[in-house]
Amino acid sequence: MESPLRIAIIGQSNFAAEVLELLLEKNYNIAGVFTIPNKGTREDILAATAKQHSIPVFKFASWRRNGEVLPEVLQQYKSVQANLNVLPYCSQFIPMEVIDAANLGSICYHPSILPRHRGASAISWTLIEGDEVAGFSIFWADYGLDTGPLLLQKQCIVEPTDTLDILYKRFLYPEGVKSMVQAVNMVAEGKAPKIPQAEVGASYDAAMFKEQNHYIDFKKTAEDIWNFVRGLDSVPGALAVVLHEDGSEEKVRFFGAHLYADGPVIGPKRLTLKGLKNPAYIHDRGLLLQGTDGKFVNIRRLKRGSKMINACDWFTKCQQSQISNFSKDELDKRDVLINIWHSILKCPIEAETDFFAAGAGSMDVVRLVEECKDALDMTLDSGQVFMAPVFEEFFCEIIRSLRQESSAVQGRIHYDGFVLQANKREISVPTQLFINGEFMDAEQRKTLDIINPSNEELLCKVACASRSDIDKAVQAAHQAFYGAWRQVSARQRGNLMLKLADLMEEYKEELATIESIDSGAVYTLALKTHIGMSIDAWRYFAGWCDKIQGNTIPVSPGRPNKVLTFTKKEPIGVVGLVTPWNYPLMMLSWKMAACIAAGNACLIKPAQTCPLTALKFAELTVKAGFPPGVINVVPGTGTEAGQAISDHKLVRKLGFTGSTSIGKIVMRSCADSNLKKCSLELGGKSPLVIFADCDFEKAVKYGVCSVFFNKGENCIAAGRLFVEDRIYDEFVRRVLRDVRSMTIGDPLNRSTAHGPQNHRAHFEKLIEFCRRGIKEGAKLVYGGRPVPNTKGYFFQPTIFTDVEDHMFIAQEESFGPIMIISKFHGSDVESVMRRANRTEYGLASGVFTRDISKALMFADNIEAGTVFVNVYNKTDVAAPFGGFKQSGFGKDLGQEALNEYLKTKCVTIEY
């Protein structure tokens, strides 16, 4: 049966539009809609919704003049012959001639529990007064101000996190829309009560649209100040006045308040506010205000003029220069932006046009971001719109971002460094610490000498981090992790990593040249492996960023309740990385790519002998757009900088690659400091077993590669070869032939196969290692000494045969180009397995045989983290890498590496 109601809806906004939609769903007859005029060409959504349903729409700028109803307005209203007026959200004063014209009356929505908080700013006063309960009333309009009889009321608890905006969106809006329709149903059914409002507890509150009512009264308790600020959040914002040192005053608006009980702040900066007895304090989480009770309120965001900023950035933003000297190209971009804004807002765009005040909503923000990206080919996110909602400010932010991107692309990142002239190139290389997105000198300008291993000459001096510098880097990472980095989504994080990988690809020849000069790596190998695999690691882990997820777990709850249990994978926080000198950039990338993919912030101490690719990499992270503090590079010594990272209480995870002896110290420091999680990739003495039934040519090729790859400075190098007696002599002969033909020399020469060792201390260690082998009775068949008549740390590829298990060179790692060959009899496979395992190391291993059973038995029984079968040194970024026993624990590479930089949180919900 059709309802006898003929409804006139009087109001505006999404609230009123949703009420209209729901009433139409209930098949009510909407006789007409009365709303506000267009803003420029932008129509209120209530009018637009009504037109979609062919409902007559009337737009009045005013209903009265000099207190009297406008005759033409009243006539148009009466023309729809409504018998019920519904006022869901109405900002205009509606004359009583209209209110009373509907014979069933007029029902009105009010956002408070009447009679408390009568007036236009009820929601604000609910919060300002610290009410524990909020709600709304639907009442019958009369001559008074929100005094008519009550039809319906609903309420909710006021949460400590509620602001005006949150309370409206959480309860007053969604429940209010449904309740307006419920009220109409009650009228239609003749069941709508008219309950007189009591005057007990009634209050009439000031309208908060007047600026004089926006000022904070600082002669209040912290709780009162907090309630006042959240009562005006997000519109219009609580007002305060900053008193500058030069005597000038500046109005600012406060947003995002909360009561502060987080202990003392470190190194706050003072700000003087008019009427506030004690100074306000700017700190890394906002602005602290002290109430009369001695307690504090923290303000997260400020609005200066039309621009919103994070409160903690007050002094930074004060120092930021304004843009005025626009180029013609930039002014052309201004015209492009004007057209984009106009197409969205449908109104004239002036310098002071406010995007949100002009009626834009969340989907309009998305549209603006996407259209700007397409039109200007730039990186932009929604936060930039919210922080600069006024057109001129937005335009300046866009130009500032474009200039920064342009500067980054053109390499205009300021640092002190030197120009490396090598490999037919001139390469600019930083030599300072990289902390919080900037290059800077170390404390007291302390430096490290960087020696070219090819000629033993001083290449440059690099900043050497002190404990204080390490603390600075940790603090930067800590602030980034809990600040800007946390706002970057997983997918955005992956895109940043991919952009960095693309930059590494673009600069790969420069990076390979630096690596070759700095560490002694052969250029062709540096290009393919040192740099190539680094790029692969960043691309591989970039793909994992938005695929890190937990599980739902079936548990057994106590009946009759049900339980949902699930896990979340979360980043650990600040991660310290310490990497070795054999693969400077690759070791950085293996660890850092997984660390960053997991969402952590980090600092890395590269090897003190060859930190240059790490510093060049730091420059590329700025160009890629990583937020300051997410990645920090701090060259230094292990005893000071490395130890400081291990000891620091804000570092929650340490990834270390190096020797076993240092690894033990690191692990002890991790336990003593704050029980930080650690992963250790340490020494190795990897066995390679070659059976007579192997593919002999392949075994020789990979046997040579297993030892001499990267001049033996390879953590998984075959530390000892076990060759079956039937092929032993021929194997030695063929290996000797290949080694004698190996080209040793300038690592930049494309024909070179074997470059210099990394540094003098290691070079001298290899000499002593060989002397000890000879002394213990091993047979030196080739090498064992420096390359004669050659400057630099060039060491001859070396071969020892007849090595027995008890010898020092059979047990300890050389980490150099020294092949250790032992013989075994083919009838005792189990014996050679035991000999291969008779070491405290367990990093890698290998076997060559055509017998699949023999190969699988080897894989089953060998105590090593990696097993190569009929190949060697075949690593891939998708395959986990790490050792057993005193070769350490934890994994680099592959999906398992992500777990090293994540923590698992279990959540259980009973319902």
In a domain, residue 563? The reply is yes
Angle at 404 between CA 400 and CA 408, to 5 degrees: 170
What integer is the mean pLDDT of 208-213? 91
Q: Which domain holds residue 813?
A: 687-882
**Do 479 and 565 have their domain in common?**
yes
What integer is the mean pLDDT of 886-909? 97
608 marked as binding residue? yes
What integer is the mean pLDDT of 579-597? 98
891 marked as binding residue? no
Looking at residue 667, what is its pLDDT? 97
In a domain, residue 834? The reply is yes
280 marked as binding residue? no
**Do 543 and 648 have their domain in common?**
yes
Looking at residue 99, what is its pLDDT? 96
What integer is the mean pLDDT of 742-767? 96
What integer is the mean pLDDT of 867-878? 97
**Do 862 and 735 have their domain in common?**
yes
pLDDT band at 188 (very low <50, low <70, confident <90, very high): very high
761 marked as binding residue? no
In a domain, residue 614? The reply is yes
CATH assignment at residue 99: 3.40.50.170
Q: Which residue has the tokens 């680099």?
A: 892
pLDDT per residue over 302-326, tens digit each?
988 777 888 988 887 544 556 668 8
Residue 836 to residue 833: CA distance in whole angstroms: 5
Looking at residue 631, what is its pLDDT? 98
**Do 57 and 159 have their domain in common?**
yes
Of 270, 431, 383, give the one whose Cα is nearest residue 627.
Answer: 383
**Do 365 and 280 have their domain in common?**
no
Active site residues: 110, 681, 715
112: which DSSP letter? S
How far lies 773's CA from each of 694, 722, 784, in Å?
Answer: 29, 17, 10
- Final residue before a domain boundary, out of 407, 441, 463: 407
Residue 795 to residue 593: CA distance in whole angstroms: 33
281 within 8 A of 331, measured Cβ to Cβ: no
**Do 802 and 714 have their domain in common?**
yes
Tokens at 528, concatenated: 């393919």
Whether pTM > 0.85 for this model: the answer is no
pLDDT per residue over 360-402, tens digit each?
877 788 889 888 988 888 777 777 787 788 898 889 888 877 7
Percent of the chain whose predicted confidence (pLDDT) is above 70 = 97
Looking at residue 424, what is its pLDDT? 94
59 marked as binding residue? no
| Strand-pair partners of 591 | none
In a domain, residue 561? The reply is yes
User: Residue 61 pLDDT more than 70?
Assistant: yes
**Do 217 and 183 have their domain in common?**
no
What integer is the mean pLDDT of 755-773? 97
Q: For 865, what's the count of Cα atoms within 13 Å in the CB-facing half-sphere? A: 29
- Final residue before a domain boundary, out of 631, 647, 681: 681
Tokens at 817, concatenated: 């180009």
797 marked as binding residue? no
pLDDT band at 1 (very low <50, low <70, confident <90, very high): very low
Looking at residue 254, what is its pLDDT? 96
**Cβ neighbours, 10 Å, residue 730:** 13
Looking at residue 406, what is its pLDDT? 60
Instruction: Output the average pLDDT for the chain.
Output: 93
304 within 8 A of 250, measured Cβ to Cβ: yes
In a domain, residue 109? The reply is yes
In a domain, residue 149? The reply is yes
Q: Are strands 779-782 and 798-801 parallel, antiparallel or unpaired?
A: antiparallel
pLDDT per residue over 107-157, tens digit each?
999 999 999 999 999 999 999 999 999 999 999 999 988 999 999 999 999
User: Residue 805 pLDDT more than 60?
Assistant: yes
pLDDT per residue over 557-570, tens digit each?
877 889 999 999 99
Domain total of the chain? 5
Looking at residue 524, what is its pLDDT? 96
In a domain, residue 902? The reply is no
In a domain, residue 200? The reply is no
pLDDT band at 411 (very low <50, low <70, confident <90, very high): very low
**Do 272 and 380 have their domain in common?**
no
**Do 226 and 354 have their domain in common?**
no
Sign for the CA dihedral angle at 374, 377, 381, 383 comes to negative
255 marked as binding residue? no
**Cβ neighbours, 10 Å, residue 661:** 10
CATH assignment at residue 352: 1.10.1200.10
In angstroms, how far is CA 68 from the centroid of its own chain?
60
**Do 697 and 653 have their domain in common?**
no
Backbone phi, psi, residue 172, to 5°:
-60, -35
**Do 519 and 380 have their domain in common?**
no
Q: Which residue has the tokens 């900037």?
A: 438
**Do 708 and 805 have their domain in common?**
yes
